Amino acid sequence: MSGTSSSSVLVFFWCAAAICCFIFGLTGVTEAQAPSTQPSQAPTSQPQATTDPSEVKALNSIFQQWGIEANAKQWNTTGDPCSGAAIDSTAFDNGDYNPFIKCDCSDNVTCHITQLKVYALDVVGIIPEELWTLSFLFNLNLGQNYFTGPLSASIGNLTSMQYLSLGINALSGELPNELGKLTDLVAISIGTNYFSGPLPSELGNLSKLQQLYIDSSGVSGEIPLTFANLQSLQTLWASDVELSGSIPDFIGSWLNLTSLMFEGNSFEGPIPSALSKLTSLIELRITDISTTNGSSSLGFIKNMKSLTSLVLRNNNISDSIPSNIGEYQKLSLLDLSFNNLTGQIPPSLFNLSSLSILFLGNNKLNGTLPEKKSSSLLNVDVSYNNLIGSIPSWVNETNLQLNLVANNFTLDSSNSSALPSGLNCLQRDFPCNRGPGLYNNFGIKCGGPQITSSNGIVYEKENETLGPATYFVNDESRWGVSNVGYFTGRNGSTIFSSYLIESTSDSKLFQTARLSASSLRYYGLGLVNGHYTLNLQFSELVIQYVNSQSLGRRVFNIYIQGNLVEKDFDIKKEAGAYFLALQRNYTAQVTENYLEIHLFWAGKGTCCVPTQGTYGPTISAISATLDSTPPVSKKNKIGLIVGIVVGVGVLILVMVIFYIVQRRKSPNNDYDEELLGIDIGPLTFSFSELKTATNDFSPNNKLGEGGFGPVFKGTLNDGRVIAVKQLSAASHQGKNQFVTEIATISAVQHHNLVTLYGFCIEGVKRLLVYEYLENKSLDQALFGKRNLNLDWSTRFDICLGVAKGLTYLHEESRLRIVHRDVKASNILLDSNLIPKISDFGLAKLFDDQKTHISTRVAGTIGYLAPEYAMRGHLTEKSRCVCIWRCSSRNCQW
């Protein structure tokens, strides 16, 4: 165990012990061992094998820390973990058995745990050190939870490990070199985590490794030279990681490789010709290679005839389509878009028997479209090329998705009647309504019906079905849209949400959004030339804010008139939270009567959280308006400057007077702005809704009252029982606590922290809505009139639960938080007497880089550490301090 881990464990148990002392006032208590009441068992000739006691102890400790337990109807049926399904023929990957273990009892004396699964249970916490003592494990699946903290070097103890899955978690720190000791590893998955630093060179020791998944893991740097030893490798997924340098030539020696994914990395080109040896490849995806070191060619794919999926998008490939492309009869997906391909399209490409998706857009291809096409080819993008000629007859086939935007085709009603109307306006240079122009503005409700905003902008409906290769122009030829991209594991390009979007007066704009798997373009057509102001509106509607679902990242680029204005744009990061409205304003110069807005996915971000196909650009609404201010001539600049200076001075004076008046008139509104920057996950409730839920805040529903204000019990329309905290109008401290409590508890989630359902802000009314906990606070349970059975075992569990909650706040949360007011009245108990820490109004963030933070002393006198009470210093040692304050009635912390 490392020094850091030891310290964390000691702090954890010290907190648990301290809390027991503080809350229950127990000293010198010993627990007698109850005599066994079980009848003695007759000896058998062949005693049944039992689980190694040290493994039982470790497993129990792990499950207790994670707040999960075995299903005694499935395994652990006799009180011994290695019983029932754990030792019968039940398959380990059976989805009905989770959590689950499998055991090896082959010596008929001792059973060892060899497989452990805790998959997609949204477990929150660290990976305990006890896990690394289960040295007989060969299969460990902890995927899709919310495990935090570093990966311990003690993982090197699991030398029997063959299948290791840690993907979709929040693990951080550098990968330990000790992973190189797991020389029996066949498959390892660490994708979608918060790791950092380089790939350990010791991973090159894993000569038996067949599958390596590091996509979105957070690692960076060059691929170590020792990876040349991974000759057994069959699958490498390494997308969305900052791998740099050149793609190593030694990858060409991985002759068993069948699937290789390098999307959204930081590699420099060209693509090495050594990859030509990988003739067993079935799936190859390499995208977004830097053009610093020159262009690439397609020569390396010459012998890859087993390919079914080939994606080489945006790699600066300067070549023509191979003349032998007709030999790739297994190809079903081919994406060569956003390169510099020249020459004509070989007719054999359109007649591949298995090809169904073909993306050739954004190249320099010329000539005409092939006259014939196979019936399997149903999605074709050839947009943004130099193609000419008539449209072939096969465009009339049903279920065909065809994007022909920005070419020079000859269009007439006889050959294009089956195509969506408006293609003539979306040909090269957008020829419709050129000259003086017809329009000086436009608005588009992306993926939804027409909506008029609160400021009078009409967002016209754009709710057509946009497939993998489609376009659309509205009836007035005022605007158009073009979409290209095929989702892996998802259908549809529209997002629907019933969630009420906050921080905007136009929430209906965000009930739907347009989504694309690769490239989404919107066009303003027939515009009057001049300077335009663009307003783009976004909200993340798919990625959630709960545990593992919050690990998703949607990242894309934004181009205006071909110029990059946003690189690696992340809606959630920019807005501060999911389900919040985000606006971006840009300016653009229109010189040829059209305006282009391009959203482009460059392989960055996660692909599969919370579900498969969660990636690619999305947008809710677009508006553009011609600026009314004409360019200023030189002779008028001096007068303009003087006017601006005088005007600004007067404006500042008016604003100061207005501010002073408003401060005197509205003292209750001085902190409203603090709420706007908070990362708010929960819902907003209306005051009328809460008034109904609490029976008009009836005194019969009153649960108690604190410094914040009264607390009422209520029932929502959906049946949820809630506790409503009402801010007292007389408490200025309560107002600050209101802001702090929302900000703090929205940023952390743990089963030993109270859950915030939402809040209400209407006028001067401020309310917090929490889950209702039946057994109220711990001090009431201990000293109230209710008769709760708080035996020693229950009290210990309560101590342990509070310690877990504090440890999470102090060490495991992405934000280190000091509560500053932990006491029995702020610990609530649910129906199962599970403790939950509440009342975060006095919480403070603690900086890892500082030995202490200085702050105004707050909290309850008698519960404070001496150095904090006297000097206002919060230190590491302030976390757990026993201060006795005994009376004839109780002993408190």
Write out the catalytic residue numbers: 821
Nearest to 201 by CA among 228, 169, 233, 165: 228
Q: What residue has token string 């690394």?
A: 132
Q: What residue has token string 């490794």?
A: 209
| R_g (Cα) of the chain, nearest Å | 32
Beta strands at 479-484 and 469-473: parallel, antiparallel or unpaired:
antiparallel
Measured distance CA(171)–CA(162) in Å, rounded: 20
Nearest to 76 by CA among 46, 41, 45, 111: 111
Q: Which two structure tokens, joined as six digits, stand for 776?
A: 């109220």
Contact between 881 and 18 (Cβ < 8 Å): yes
What are the residues facing 317 on neighbouring strands?
Answer: 296
Measured distance CA(325)–CA(356) in Å, rounded: 15
Measured distance CA(893)–CA(891) in Å, rounded: 7
- Quote the DSSP letter at residue 182: -
Measured distance CA(225)–CA(230) in Å, rounded: 10
Contact between 148 and 171 (Cβ < 8 Å): yes
In 42-188, which ranges are continuous DSSP H helix? 53-66
Residue 475: helix, strand or coil by DSSP?
coil
Q: Which two structure tokens, joined as six digits, stand for 608?
A: 């599969």
Helices and strands (H and E) in the chain: how many? 10, 53
Nearest to 215 by CA among 270, 247, 252, 261: 261
Measured distance CA(473)–CA(471) in Å, rounded: 7
Q: What sign does the dihedral 85-88-92-94 (CA atoms) show?
A: negative
Nearest to 530 by CA among 478, 584, 444, 588: 588
Residue 431: helix, strand or coil by DSSP?
coil
Type of residue at 775: N
Measured distance CA(255)–CA(656) in Å, rounded: 73
Q: What residue has token string 């006297």?
A: 870
Measured distance CA(280)–CA(554) in Å, rounded: 32
Longest CA–CA separation in the chain, Å: 111
Measured distance CA(224)–CA(149) in Å, rounded: 25
Helices 792-807, 3-24: axis angle to 10 degrees equals 130
Residue 569: helix, strand or coil by DSSP?
strand
Measured distance CA(556)–CA(492) in Å, rounded: 19
Q: What residue has token string 């380990």?
A: 92
Beta strands at 259-262 and 283-286: parallel, antiparallel or unpaired:
parallel
Element containing residue 58 per DSSP (H, E):
helix 53-66
Measured distance CA(101)–CA(109) in Å, rounded: 18
Measured distance CA(265)–CA(240) in Å, rounded: 6
Contact between 432 and 477 (Cβ < 8 Å): yes
386: which residues sit within 8 A by CB, 6+ positions away? Answer: 364, 365, 366, 407, 408, 428
Nearest to 289 by CA among 309, 261, 272, 264: 264
Measured distance CA(226)–CA(551) in Å, rounded: 31
Phi-psi region at 758: left, alpha or beta (left = phi > 0; alpha = psi -120 to 50) = left
Cis peptide before 610 (omega within 30 of 0): yes
Type of residue at 735: K
